[in-house]
Amino acid sequence: MKLWSHPDAETLKLVEIVNKTKRNNFLEIGCYNFSMTINFILMSNQPNLVIANDKIDHSPETRALIDKYHSKMFHFVLGDSGEIETQNKIKGILKEKKLDILFIDGDHGRGHVESDTNNYADLVADDGYIIWHDTVHGAHKSFEPWFIEQLNKNILINLFFEGESRIGWIQGKEWRRYVSRK
């Protein structure tokens, strides 16, 4: 399956990571036109939550269509991921549930990737994963220093660089171990 901005090899890697989890609850920061969101919906187990956040409602027709067929699981949260209001809305949807997948693909500037990580990582289950997309060297020439490469000096981040694929991921409990050591 070929998705916008995701080469096949990367999509397969994402499927592999998702398959290591319970596949119940997903949060995508920066969902653009929902092409990855739809993938998460297809991969998810029932009962589930697929929360898609973006600061812009890029594709209202697609959103309405997903909502029509998946209204129980699908939640679109419009707002800047850095805003407390957005964070509270997402926490309100999750209630006590933990995320199996946190997919960080919003603003790719270092400060934003870092704040998205810090603001949402606590919501990830111990056996869930934080996945960063395109936040590594070569993804966008204008963003330096590279958050993942900086992080990788202190903690082992799994990386998949192949062709145009640039993703990094870490399990929730590994992330917390790293944060508690800082």
Ligand X SMILES: C[S@@+](CC[C@H](N)C(=O)[O-])C[C@H]1O[C@@H](n2cnc3c(N)ncnc32)[C@H](O)[C@@H]1O
According to CB under 6 A, which one of 41, 54, 147, 165 is a site residue for ligand X?
A: 54
Residue among 7, 57, 56 at smallest CA distance from 36: 7
**Residue whose CB is less far from ligand X, 35 or 62:** 35
Query: What does the block give as tokens for 156?
Result: 């082992």
The 102-121 site mask, x for binding ligand X (CB under 6 A), equals: ---xxx----x---------
Nearer to ligand X, 52 or 157 (CB): 52
Q: How far is the CB of 174 from ligand X (least distance, A)?
A: 23
In the complex, which residues of this chain contact ligand X (CB under 6 A)? Answer: 4-6, 28, 30-32, 35-36, 53-56, 58, 80-82, 105-107, 112
